[in-house]
A = this chain, B = another copy of it.
Amino acid sequence: MSSRHPTPDQIRVDEVMSALGNPLRLAVVRVLADGGEHNCGSILDGVSKSTLTHHWRVLRDSGVIWQRPSGRENLLSLRREDLDARYPGLLDAVLAATKTDEVSER
Instruction: Give the interface size class of chain A.
Output: 20 to 34
Inter-subunit contact B100/A93 (CB<8 Å) = no
Interface of A is mostly: helix
Inter-subunit contact B13/A94 (CB<8 Å) = yes
Total copies of the chain: 2
Inter-subunit contact A21/B23 (CB<8 Å) = no
In chain A, positions 1-56 with a C-beta closer than 8 Å to chain B are 9, 12-23, 26
A10's nearest neighbour on chain B, judged by CB, is B104
**Cα-based distance from A22 to B92 in the complex (angstroms):** 21
**Cα-based distance from A98 to B9 in the complex (angstroms):** 13
Output the least CB separation between A15 and chain B (Å): 7
Output the least CB separation between A32 and chain B (Å): 16
Inter-subunit contact A93/B97 (CB<8 Å) = no
Residues in B neighbouring A13, C-beta threshold 8 A: 26, 94, 97-98, 100-101
Q: A14-B26, A89-B93, A94-B90 are in contact. Are A104 and B21 (CB under 8 A)?
A: no
